[in-house]
Chains A and B, each alone.
Chain A
């Protein structure tokens, strides 16, 4: 579902976004110099292990990080829902920013079991954003909510709407969370590991649903996952994050055929493959992701990288574009030159 690059202004243009958080151990370098742009109808997949800064970045874009937790944020996040000019979200006061959440940008959370308020009926949770932002009355909002439940594939919506979250299965709850996110027709949808907490059989349904809704609503979507396989066929571009940085950014097809960063390769090799003989040992990435408090100098991946050279331990590699390809960038001194040996990129 690759879309042609449109001439229009991107919905989201992130430049050198840096977010540092307060913690009891010290300053957490959660997001470091992340840049990307995203237009309507496009999907950006963000891939990385837990602790790579994906979720902090998503929450920072949404303005959901607790004020006291953020030590500082730098860079710029230009956002333009419908009309120009684009505005920098980082400079926008929270009072104005609140009015963007819901009608302009929305988010889907990882765990549908905890994302819905256990004591409120679905009708309340589904209608409050349209009542807040669109100003529908109770009756109109209810009709809209039933429509939404139908649109996300919940059967018997007019009965379900009066139920409580615990009366629904995990997959159904995630559909409700999606319906809530779509309630005000946002231009940007951020899905933070939307299928991680779900059964494998339900995962595909939810991802297909998201893809369909994205097409129908012509939204820009950020799909965050730790599973390269999830975004392979669903994202236009993929950003691989490691230790708060985007270490490789490329169109999805390019990434799988001409990956440059050793971390991307390691992630790629850790996807289990259906064609492998059974009992093939799954290739895991050795070591752990680095802690982000007072990061050591050099490339953050160096301790786990099989190609690491002395230079990698001393200098942080800058983000550079691959020759002749503007939208393929990586941050490695010694990028992988040949295509990976394994060819079954279609996962």
Chain B
């Protein structure tokens, strides 16, 4: 709990700074939102001025910022002047898709990366280890959209196992939901997989040199038990940090993949809002992403104590 009180001011400060810069960045972009809404050609200056007044764009920047921030604190991120939809509602309605995608991607990546990293670290330097690392590098260097296209070609177009695009909500049909989520989640997972594997492998190799591993071997424990019980937990700090970062960044990470698979997620919403210059929507989503990022990383910090009792008792 002392961790909480120590970190909370930081957390709030970060969020405040993020909101400020988001607002400024979006507001200072060239182009007048009022002109964008009314359409560029042949609009009378009076009409533009009228709309600016309605949108409150005539007020000073700082006043608008605090106005927006005050509403945001109350959960109201404003209304999109384009569609009239509430920004908060738009985000919340699309959030489950993005979260499911992100969590599935990370789970798939972890489930594959942890055993592979163990094998790699245990046989460090062997041909097996080098092959695994090689494949990992190859996966890591493939951009996400390429991976998505490959997976669609193989599993949707070629084998026909999964749909190429579209989304079925969990509430409609859990199996159809999984089928629609698996390819996008895989596209994201394949890239993270290699990163997780390399991180964990490096830390595992380091841990396996420790005296306590030799002691565990001196007890005559089987290797799998030494790897899982004695080596994995002390080796997973970097991995957990990165998983936390990825989880926080899952919305921005999913933009391209959601667009390719036509998934109704927050990433796609952001992408489309940018194309339409729906600034209020962009602003809201960016603030939301940043908040999610900061909060998740804060939670990860708290989780270190689960991994290492020394952190727990140092509190």
A118→B221 contact, CB < 8 A: no
Residue interface mask B297-313, A partner, CB < 8 A = 1: 00000000001111001
A24 → chain B closest CB, angstroms: 12
Q: Which of B149-194 contact A (CB under 8 A)?
A: none
B210, A114: Cβ atoms closer than 8 Å: yes
In the complex, B130 has a CB within 8 A of chain A:
no
Question: Contact residue range for chain B?
Answer: 20 to 34
Chain A: number of interface residues, binned into ranges: 20 to 34
Q: A68-B125, A98-B222, A109-B211 are in contact. Are A117 and B309 (CB under 8 A)?
A: no
B215 to chain A, nearest CB (A): 5
Q: Is the CB of B230 within 8 A of A120?
A: yes
Contact A118 B220 (CB under 8 A): no
Inter-subunit contact A166/B221 (CB<8 Å): no
**A107 and B218: CB pair below 8 A?**
yes
Q: Are B221 and A129 closer than 8 Å at their CB atoms?
A: yes
A101 with B220: CB separation less than 8 A: yes
> Are A119 and B308 interface neighbours, CB within 8 A?
yes
Question: Given A102-B220, A129-B221, A116 and B313 touching (CB < 8 A)?
Answer: no
Please tell me if the beta carbons of A118 and B234 are within 8 angstroms of each other in the complex: yes
A109 contacts B125, C-beta separation under 8 Å: no
Digit string of A250-282 for contact with B (CB within 8 Å is 1, else 0)? 000000000000000000000000000000000
A99 sits at the interface (CB 8 A):
yes
Taking a contact as CB atoms under 8 Å apart, the answer to whether A129 and B234 are in contact is no
Whole-angstrom distance between the Cβ of A179 and the nearest chain B Cβ: 12
A132 touches B221 (CB 8 A): yes
Note all chain A residues with C-beta closer than 8 A to B210. 114
Task: Check if B50 is an interface residue, CB within 8 A of chain A.
Answer: no
Report if A17 contacts B (CB, 8 A). Answer: no
Quick check: B211 and A164 within 8 Å, CB to CB? no
Which residues of chain A have C-beta atoms less than 8 A from B234's C-beta? 117-119
Residues of A within 8 A of B211 (CB): 109, 111, 114-115
Given contact pairs A119-B307, A166-B313, A129 touches B215 in the complex (Cβ within 8 A):
no
B interface, over-half SS = helix
- A22 CB, min distance to chain B CBs, angstroms: 11
Mask of B210-227 contacts with A, CB within 8 angstroms, 1/0: 111011111111100100
Query: Is B7 close to A, CB under 8 A?
Result: no
Task: Say if the beta carbon of A103 comes within 8 Å of chain B.
Answer: yes
Whether A164 and B218, one on each chain, are in contact in the complex, defined by CB atoms closer than 8 angstroms, is no
Q: Is the CB of A118 within 8 A of B219?
A: no
CA A296 to CA B234, docked complex, whole Å: 43
Rounded to whole Å, the gap between the CB of A166 and the closest CB of chain B is: 5
**Chain B contacts for A98, CB-based, 8 A:** 220-222
Q: For the complex, what is the distance from the CA of A238 to the CA of B215, rounded to whole Å?
A: 26
Q: Tell me the bound Cα distance from A106 to B234 in angstroms.
A: 24
CB of B212 within 8 A of CB of A180, answer no
Instruction: Flag if A128 contacts B218 (CB, 8 Å).
Output: no
Would you give the 0/1 interface string for B119-138, flagging 1 where the beta carbon is closer than 8 Å to chain A? Answer: 00000010000000000000
Which residues from B are CB-within-8-Å of A59?
A: 214
Q: Is there an interface contact between A103 and B220, defined as CB atoms closer than 8 Å?
A: yes
CB contacts (< 8 Å) of B125 on chain A: these are 68
Most buried by B among A64, A68, A115, A181: A115
Q: Which residues of B are found within 8 Å of A111, using beta-carbon distances?
A: 211
Establish whether residues B220 and A100, one from each chain, have CB atoms under 8 Å apart when the complex forms.
Answer: yes
- A139 contacts B by Cβ under 8 Å: no
Kindly name the residue among B211, B225, B229 whose own CB sees the greatest number of chain A CB atoms within 10 A. Answer: B211
Contacts A102-B220, A128-B216 aside, 11 further interface pairs with beta carbons under 8 A come to A106-B218, A115-B214, A117-B212, A128-B225, A129-B220, A132-B219, A132-B221, A132-B225, A164-B313, A180-B215, A181-B218
- Give 5 pairs: A residue, B residue, CB < 8 Å, sorted on A: A64-B218, A101-B220, A106-B218, A115-B214, A177-B215
Q: B: which residues have CB within 8 A of A?
A: 125, 210-212, 214-222, 225, 229-230, 233-234, 307-310, 313
A-B pairs with lowest CB-CB distance, top 8: A101-B220, A102-B220, A129-B219, A114-B211, A117-B212, A164-B309, A115-B211, A107-B218
